[in-house]
Amino acid sequence: MPKQKSFIIKIKGFIKGVSYYFEKGEPRERIPNPPTKDQIYNDPRFAGVRANNKEFGGASTFSRSIATGLKNNMHTFKDSRCTSRLTAALLKIIKKGSGAPGKREANIINGPENLIGFQLHKNYVFNKICSAKHSISVNQERTNITIEIPKIAPNNLKNHPKSATHFILTAALSTVSIHNWHSKIEKYKPDYPEVNGLGDTRKSEPLLCKIEHQNISIQLVNPAKTTISGGVAITVWLGIIFGKETDNKFVPFQAAKAMECIAIF
């Protein structure tokens, strides 16, 4: 182990991957060896790491379920870090689930506050672009979800391209089953795969930016062909995109398009 021959400042700790410490009063330095793959998988000291890795994988699977239901909306509205941000939000939900670390239940109902308000694009926050109030209702069977906006006035539209003449509202839903850890395959799987990752998207007609619009209603239909279990959550999303209408054709802009999760049923 190398010794420091001269020592002007006494250092203890890590600097650029080098550990500085004292042994029997003498300064020492060394480069720590990272744990091997075998240690991570088998050493009891890394049990916490293994548990976290399992749940991170579960959050990633959870995230894909939502993205599958949102379909093209992910491509339209997301930023480059959306998937990792969504996975991080869902990992927080898993850590609130029942069960041992590494095998905790993944159920959105355990932490809806971690997903409601999630923006597909971090820099385009829906309520900072469209401040109009909305309400959401769902029938008892959770087959129909209605989003109602009593009024959108020009002063409700903010931080959008000045050249925009029209905007379109997009409502979407994505179904997400409870996921649980399966030891045989060492992965998280949905409890109800047949109704996991289903989606529906409905859009308003192009609406003029310069006038007030009243009583806007968008209805989403759950695509599940059977009554869905209480173990399946429905995430509801609302988005807005601006553009120009030329020759009765709406041409969307890339800037200031936002979509957020507004409810979970």
pLDDT at 22: 65
Buried b (16+ CB within 10 A) or exposed e, 85-121: bbbebbbebbbebeeeebbbbbbbbbbbebbeebbbb
Tell me, yes or no, if the pTM score tops 0.75: yes
Are residues 18 and 29 in contact, defined by beta-carbon separation less than 8 angstroms? yes
The per-residue DSSP string of 28-50 comes to EEE-PPPPPHHHHHH-GGGHHHH
Which of 230, 259, 238 has its CA nearest to residue 142? Answer: 230
Higher pLDDT, 247 or 44: 247
State which of 44-48, 52-56, 231-235, 243-247 shows the largest mean pLDDT. Answer: 231-235
* Residue spans per domain, the chain: 43-264
- How far is 191 from 105, CA to CA, in rounded Å? 10
Q: How far apart are CA 111 and CA 113, in angstroms?
A: 5
Tell me which amino acid residue 159 is. Answer: N
Give residue 84's pLDDT band: very low, low, confident or very high (50, 70, 90).
Answer: very high
